[in-house]
Amino acid sequence: MEDSLKLIQLKCANCGAMLSRADKFDSQIKCPYCGTVNEVTGTMLQDVAAPERIIAFKSTEKDFEKQICAYFLNDDYAVNDIFEKVEMDNTTAIFLPMFLFEGKFEANYNCSVGYQETQLSTGTNLSGERTIKEKTVTKWRPLSGTAKGNYAFLSLAFEGEEIIPELAEWTRTFPYDPVSAQPFKMDIVKGQGSQILPHNLDRETTWHKWGTSTIEYQAKSEAENQLPQGEKIKDFRSTFSYDPKHDGRMFLVPFWFVYYIYNSQKHFVLMDGLGRNIHGSIPQDQERIKEVNKMKKLGKWALWIGIAAAVLVTILPIEGTFVVGLIVGLVAWLGLKFWTKSKVKGIIAKAREIRKVGYDKAISAA
């Protein structure tokens, strides 16, 4: 394993972000954070500790662009002119430093589980006759237990303005796949033109920033999975402990990100370097949202409209109107419910058809 990693660094003349690579810069480099084109007139060399392992890019810039196109196309409320107005010429591949934490956890929990019990009560009516009434009440019984499991997750070993907050938070969703990891070699990062962010948090700081909360979430989720399904639960409490197997091994993990502007507003898209997950912000068509919400609200009123129709038919002076009322009410309720659902689907499908024209052009150009 290599002991050190030599990074060539350039400071953005506009925003001051540190741009790092393992191989040389081009004569010009566009800052992925502010979009400034920097003339490469001077760089500096930094020696940083080499990571133990690396996860290589399995997706290309073209893959990222195609995934973005599909992401825009399939969003229900994306603006229809997004492919015409948005240009993405500064997509960035970046390796982020992350520590791998592995081990076992144990969660002890207790709570109260509700169950139904029928109670009988006796009384006397106005005629002096004895009566018996039934009442169903919710009773509570204590429940406690222990949940155990293994944890293995990667935590970002960096803090600073050189990485957007959305990407920093999204790294927590990157699933650790031991099959994708391999021993670090400089050749893997050279020649790709990828940014490399050196870590500025040590293992202990990274653990306190991300690790404890991640294990607590996993332990609580495992404990909740043991609770009776479909039952009422109250006063749930849990405590957890953990036994580390590997207390943080340094990884370089690949991600894609890009900023883009729509109507003067800044948006972003992120994707992991394996091409498995994508996330971002998409400008939304507010008029379409209002139209869909209007239809959904009408759908919620469908039941009351059906009841109103049933009552109206029932009070008419026609023999047998009770059954007729029920049928009319049911038909009115179902008809309006399916009509509103169909309208919502139609609104979304029509917008997607419009975007499909821009999507096909973008895919052809990619």
pLDDT at site 329: 65
123 - beta bridge partners?
131
Q: In angstroms, rounded to a whole number, what is the distance separating the alpha carbons of residues 102 and 151?
A: 5
Phi, psi of 173 (to 5 degrees): -90, -5
Residue 320: pLDDT above 70? no
Question: Among residues of the chain, what percentage have pLDDT more than 70?
Answer: 89
**Alpha carbon separation from 7 to 15, 26, 186 (Å, rounded):** 20, 15, 11
pLDDT at 29: 84
Query: ∠ CA(103), CA(104), CA(106), 5° rounding?
Result: 150
Whole-number pLDDT of residue 107: 95
Q: Has residue 319 got a pLDDT over 60?
A: no
pLDDT digits (tens, 9 = 90+) for 283-312: 999 999 999 998 888 766 766 666 666 666
Q: pLDDT class for 89, splitting at 50, 70, 90?
A: confident
pLDDT at residue 120 tops 70: yes
Which pLDDT tens digit goes with each residue over 41-87? 878 888 888 899 999 999 999 999 999 999 999 999 999 999 999 88
Integer Cα distance of 262 and 80 in angstroms: 12
State whether residue 278 is helix, strand or coil.
strand
The sign of the dihedral angle between the CA atoms of 174, 177, 180, 185 is positive
* Amino acid, res. 315: I
* Mean model confidence pLDDT for the chain: 86
pLDDT tens, 185-224? 888 887 666 889 888 999 999 999 988 899 999 999 999 9
- Between CA 119 and CA 352 the distance in angstroms is 57
Phi, psi of 325 (to 5 degrees): -60, -45
pLDDT at 205: 93
* Residue 252 confidence class, pLDDT cut points 50, 70, 90: very high
For 77-232, strand residue ranges (E) read 92-124, 130-156, 181-183, 195-196
**So what's the pLDDT on residue 141?**
94
Structure-token pair, residue 356: 């499909």
Whether pLDDT at 233 is above 90: yes
DSSP for residue 314: H
Do residues 55 and 273 make contact, with C-beta atoms less than 8 angstroms apart? Answer: yes
Q: Hey, what are 267's tokens?
A: 């948006």
For residues 20-27, give the mean pLDDT: 84
- Yes or no: say if 265 and 281 are a contact pair by the CB < 8 Å rule: no
pTM of the predicted structure, to 2 decimals? 0.81
pLDDT at position 30: 83
pLDDT of residue 195: 87
Tokens 């997950």 sit at which residue? 277
